[in-house]
Structure 1
Amino acid sequence: MSAALPPPRTPGRYAVGLVCLGNICRSPTADVVLSGKVAEAGLADRVEVGSCGTGGWHVGEPMDPRAAATLSAAGYDPTRHRGRQYDEAWAARFDVVLAMDAANLADLGGRRADGRVMLFGELDPVAPGSEVPDPYYGGADGFEEVLEMVERTSDAIVDALPGLLEPTASTGDDA
């Protein structure tokens, strides 16, 4: 992972917010995948994952059927998602807010010096700093590309979480 996740605001707990434009393709895909991987790692009781969009066009709606079909085909359950819109409270509620692309990041006010708002792709172990492309106007292959990027980046995030959830290491002698 090229960038590091910021420390938790509450010791032993962590919250990850995921943001795209309409909250029907990329950020809900990342929400479903990351939530699943957090649960598989046994961290669901300590890690919160949520997604939203910078625009309000799809508030209350399920995710795009193509995104849902891609997730279902890969063994994930996309049925619980309903679109939500970002508001400034997210920046204070989540330990990190990850934008899917530079336009989403700009809509959030840009990367914050404290590292709590950044691009999702900054955590991508294969293409650090990349943007998650918006598949909305393309074909099925775009949704598959998004899923691939989201899965590998979610793995990197989950790998980093245990270290963030542990109490500060003591400086005592371990021997």
Structure 2
Amino acid sequence: MKFRKSDFMAAPDDYLEVNTDLADLDGAQFVNTPVLAVPECHVEGTLQFDGRSRVVSNLHYSGFMIVEDSITGEDLEYDFEADSEKEYSFDPLEDTDDQEDILVVNNNTIDLNDEMIEAIVYEAPMSITRLAREDYPSGKGWSLTSDQDEGDSQQQEDPRWAKLKDLNFEDN
């Protein structure tokens, strides 16, 4: 989704509304991310123009993405909602502290695709599974554990360090 500076100059009240659907069924835009595809995503918000060179986007995303099950490797649907806000400048920036927070646009065209992809990828879960806890894989002498499992509340002493208890380390 692209907007030219002339679109903002012609806009009443110096802002444009965004109300669109985004879909990437084959995941071509999400290469090297945990997101395999985004079959459905609705994007709405505003692009506020300051009348000279700066535009601030304020966008809200809702939809679902396809991610990989962390245990089985199957495709899972994951509902998400996200918000993003970015500041763009049509003019080159002077060396200031806030320069890294502002994106300078090329050819007087703001392309929102990068912002939208970034916001969606940030919502992708790092680890997700559909399996119930009792269905986790296990084998002879091992089982898959989670940091959410109730662990052994008593710390067991490592026998390699047991002899150190007998030594006296006090200063004389």
- Regarding TM over 0.5, the answer is no
* Bigger Cα Rg: 2
Q: Which has the higher helix share?
A: 1
The TM tier, using the shorter chain, reads under 0.3
Q: Which has the higher strand share?
A: 2
